[in-house]
A and B are shown apart, each in its own frame.
Chain A
Amino acid sequence: MLEVKGISKIYGEGTVRVTALDNLTLRVDDDDFMAIMGPSGSGKSTFLNVIGGLDRLSSGEVVLDGRRIDNLDENALVDIRRGKIAYVFQQYHLLPSLTALENVLMPLIFCGRGADEKDALYMLERVGLGKRSGHKPGQLSGGEQQRVAIARALVNSPSLILADEPTGNMDQKTGNEILELFKQLNDEGRSILMVTHSPEIARQAKEIITLRDGRILTGPTKN
């Protein structure tokens, strides 16, 4: 479903050019759960950002469900973010002024389709936070905040979830709980691309690729 064809991302100009991604090609199928590993600066996060349209490519193509998305205008990218692709970040990125429930509702509000609180509450229940829907992010633990972020990612039923170090700020136990959630989502047929630097976390995905200097060093290798 997702094809990445020879993509490159170069930051800066002239002598200060930094090649973050260097002619990278990859294919992600519908029920894949792929971990992307690599040292800091290997281009993992940039990779995730450019395939999701959060950042622009320097060259190459990204094709999602047969449609090129790397050259779309802002409005078309917004449509993709509202349906097909959702993000989970290491820093959770919840809005501090809104409650857990309101944070989950946010994508529905932006969509313009009637923002149904029941849908949002259902998602919070799915991630085990039904009872904390009225809490603000500041009143939740890191693991709980990440669950809210996952519920928010799920509320528009995306087919591809891009997760950037989703367990990076957690202890191992909490991290494993979050990972269990990802496995469930994958079992439902959603494909997941997850950046991590932890081999233990990566091992729980179905496949692993390792990046170095913006290229694929190994993989995809099946676990």
Chain B
Amino acid sequence: MKLYKIVAKDIMRRKRRVLYAALGVVIGTMTVVGVLTIAFAGQARIYRQLEQYGPNLTVIPAINSLDMKLGNLSMGTLSVGENYIQQDQLPKIRQITDGNIRKALQIDDDGDIATIAPALYENTRINGVSVVVIGIEPETEKMVKTWWNIHKGAYLNGSDQALVGAIAAELLKLNVGDKVTLNNDTFTIAGILEETGSGDDYQIFAPLPAVQQAFNKTGMISSLDIRALCNSCPVEMIADSINQSIPGVRAVAVKQIAKSEMGLLEKMSNLMLALGGITLAVGLFGVINTMMASVNERIKDIGIMRAVGASRGQIIRIFIYEALIIGILGGVAGYLLGTALAYLIGPLVFEGVSVSFVPQYFPLALAVSIIVAVVATIYPALRASRIRVADSFRAI
């Protein structure tokens, strides 16, 4: 039998008091873990998107009216009414883009560098359901949307074919081989995309010329995705040059949007962390309080232990052991509850974010709650160690 067994037995007798002390630690740790886990999920999402869209630019008409999204990043609004980019401006945009890249990276090669993917957005109804049809250049789009995977069927391989987003296929009850009428023309569904978690899931894709023809929009496009292919490409500079030299279009570097979103997230998670810290501090005082009460409640027991040979150090150790148990309980519970909290609140903070366990926060949670519990116990333990045996018995 060892000292810790005395502590364990005593804790079993005073379960409620100990749990009450642990509660303070649990709430603090839970808040910190919850905040970190949500921030982690949000950050992971933004990083993922930054990686996908990082070297990208989007070019849209200067007048906007329709909500447009790229992934989950809002790209402002886009008009589909009368405002289009003329397809004949494409070579000029390419010239500016490639020119800038050549200058920045000192490339002499004459060939195309950036991938420029035009798209025409049109609204239509299929089986009475409103849906966005996007005309694309199949080969370039594939290079831009590297995360696309075919769930069923095949990729676009003919002018009268269509590719359907996962959710759109489900909602419209479309399957490979089905025929759909898009405005003037009929298309055959070649394939269905795997779910991407982006707006693509809700849309239908078909070759650009065919869509232009079907909707009587020959020579017109709604937007351009430019993939510069290198992370150090001067996308902001390209955007500036396009905006300055081509009237009626607006070029935006996706990086800028992601950056500002990331900055906001950082500010927010710092604020939440500060709140978590305050909760932790409150928890600390809670533990100090409970521990002081526990010392007062056990004055007699401490006196007994002192009378039968416990040293001051051993009395302190008894309380520190108790603090360790409280800290471990608080850490485990705080981690689990914090993660659960993130699961509940995460989707409210970031739409569509998938919160997951962050295992590396477990040792962190454990360390934080053990430190809080032990720090909170130092003063009460010192007080306990100074109890005089004779006084403790007189107090009865």
Contacts and interface: CB of A to CB of B under 8 A. Distances in A.
Contacts of B305: 95, 106, 110
A49 B390 contact: yes
A102 B308 CA distance: 13
B310 interface: yes
A109 B307 contact: no
B9 A55 contact: no
A107 B308 contact: yes
A107 B309 contact: yes
A97 interface: yes
Interface residues of B, number: 27
A172 to B, nearest CB: 25
B6 A109 contact: yes
B309 A82 contact: yes
Interface residues of A, number: 29
Contacts of A94: 304
Interface stretch (A63-71, A73-81, A188-196, A208-216): A73-81
A29 interface: no
- Chain B interface mostly helix, strand, loop or mixed? helix
A215 to B, nearest CB: 20
Interface stretch (A31-39, A85-93, A139-147, A179-187): A85-93
Given A49-B390, A95-B301, A110-B314, A102 B309 contact: no
Contacts of A49: 389-390
B173 interface: no
A81 B308 contact: yes
A55 B312 CA distance: 15
Contact of B311 (A55, A78, A156): A78
Contact of A105 (B1, B304, B314, B393): B1
B259 interface: no
A137 B9 CA distance: 14
Interface string A97-126: 110001001110111000101000000000
B51 interface: no
A152 interface: yes
Given A54-B390, A95-B301, A95-B304, A81 B309 contact: yes
Contacts of A102: 1, 5-6, 9
Interface in B362-396: 388-390, 393, 396
Contacts of B314: 110
B10 interface: yes
A120 B10 CA distance: 20
Contacts of A97: 9-10, 12-13
Given A75-B311, A78-B309, A55 B390 contact: yes
A106 B6 contact: yes
Given A82-B309, A106-B308, A110-B311, A115 B301 contact: no
Interface string B3-26: 101100110110000000000000
Contacts of B13: 96-97
Contacts, number: 75
A110 B388 CA distance: 17
A93 B1 contact: no
A186 to B, nearest CB: 21
B193 to A, nearest CB: 65
Given A49-B390, A102-B1, A117-B1, A54 B6 contact: no
Nearest to B3: A109
A35 B12 CA distance: 40
A98 B10 CA distance: 8
Given A102-B1, A106-B6, A109-B6, A156 B309 contact: yes
A105 B2 CA distance: 9
Nearest to B9: A97
A86 B388 CA distance: 16
B6 A91 contact: no
B300 interface: yes
B9 A111 contact: no
A109 B390 CA distance: 22
B301 A54 contact: no
A114 B223 CA distance: 81
A49 B390 CA distance: 7
Contacts of A93: 300, 303-304, 307, 393
B6 A115 contact: no
B396 A91 contact: yes
Nearest to A75: B311
Contacts of A110: 3, 305, 308-311, 314
A213 to B, nearest CB: 20
A105 B308 CA distance: 10
Contacts of B310: 78, 110
A66 B314 CA distance: 29
A109 B2 contact: yes
Interface of B: 1-3, 5-6, 9-10, 12-13, 300-301, 303-312, 314, 388-390, 393, 396
6 smallest A-B Cβ distances: which pairs? A55-B390, A82-B309, A97-B13, A110-B309, A54-B389, A54-B390
Given A81-B309, A93-B303, 17 more contacts: A55-B389, A81-B307, A87-B308, A91-B396, A93-B300, A95-B304, A96-B13, A97-B10, A97-B12, A98-B6, A98-B9, A102-B1, A105-B1, A107-B308, A109-B1, A109-B6, A117-B1
17 contacts: A49-B389, A49-B390, A55-B388, A78-B311, A78-B312, A81-B306, A82-B309, A91-B393, A94-B304, A97-B9, A97-B10, A97-B13, A102-B5, A102-B6, A105-B1, A110-B310, A152-B308
